[in-house]
Amino acid sequence: MTVTRRHLLVLPLVLAMAACSSTTQEGATGVKRKQLLLLPSAQVDAMSLESYKGELGKAQQAGKLNTDKANLERIRVIADRLVPHVATFRQDALQWQWEVNLETRDELNAYCAPGGKIMFFTGIITKLRLTDDEIAAIMGHEIAHALREHGRERMSTAYAQQTGMSLLAVLGNVTAENMALLETAAQVGLTLPHSRGQEAEADIVGLELMARAGYNPAAAISLWEKMGQANGAGGPAFMSTHPSGTQRIDGINSLLPRVNPLYQAARSSLGKLPPRIIPRT
């Protein structure tokens, strides 16, 4: 069979459509977008774990890992309350080897690597003077990224784009100047909006997680207000991978009527300490 130019252009689209699925259940907040997941989950998880272990090793060697015992215990207790509710979105996440670590760094940052590896930097807690509810908002947001496998999705999108660009180059009729324009268009029209969409999804799922764990979802608003004050006005949201502070807060406000009943129900049932899920070292 002769492979035509049309066949070559259609092939990546067919493969992409075949790889579209969703990593999570909808929950009460209704995240149900199909995702492009070309790369195997195990491969991405292994790469992420290697990177995470490397970061732990560097922090340990520098004497900056888990030295703030009070805040370390705070974030581990919060994780103990949040993690059981990941089953709302994906049951298999209960079997992840969850752990929480705290690195002494001034950066306003935290993340959750695939497989439940949570890292906070002391700067985000101390500089913003975070309450437990605000820490839960950050942690829920970062856990949501892991549940939705946003890292795997970004890698798959980059892979698909690279494949598509390579095919165009092989087929000819695309000058170096046009190729650069196509790459810019792909970044502005696909990569950046898509990343903003992932951030919005993490806000939505994270808000439900914290509400189900009995943390006040309204604290997500005060958190992002603090982040906005710390980071300044920043650039326009159109050229950012994150929604603007105003957009983010508006989105959270629109979701509060849905998650507040979950929060109230959780508060009424909180009568004892949750079982320890995060290992203490």
What is the C-alpha to C-alpha distance for residues 26 and 59, in angstroms, rounded to an integer? 37
Q: Residue written as tokens 């998880």?
A: 45
What is the C-alpha to C-alpha distance for residues 117 and 119, in angstroms, rounded to an integer? 7
Q: Residue written as tokens 């272990």?
A: 53
Report which of 132, 129, 111 is spatially closest to residue 121, judged by C-alpha positions. 111
Catalytic residue status for 149 = no
Active-site residue, from 142, 153, 201, 208: 142
Of the CA atoms within 13 Å of residue 243, those in its CB half-sphere come to: 17
Q: Residue written as tokens 């764990």?
A: 213
Spell out the SS3 assignment of the chain: CCCCHHHHHHHHHHHHHHCEECCCCCCCCCCCCCEECCCCHHHHHHHHHHHHHHHHHHHHHCCCECCCHHHHHHHHHHHHHHHHHHHHCCHHHHHCCCEEEEECCCCCCEEEECCCEEEEEHHHHHCCCCCHHHHHHHHHHHHHHHHCCHHHHHHHHHHHHHHHHHHHHHHCCCCHHHHHHHHHHHHHHHHHHHHHHHHHHHHHHHHHHHHHCCCCCCHHHHHHHHHHHHHCCCCCHHHCCCCCHHHHHHHHHHHHHHHHHHHHHHHHHCCCCCCCCCCCC
Catalytic residue list: 142
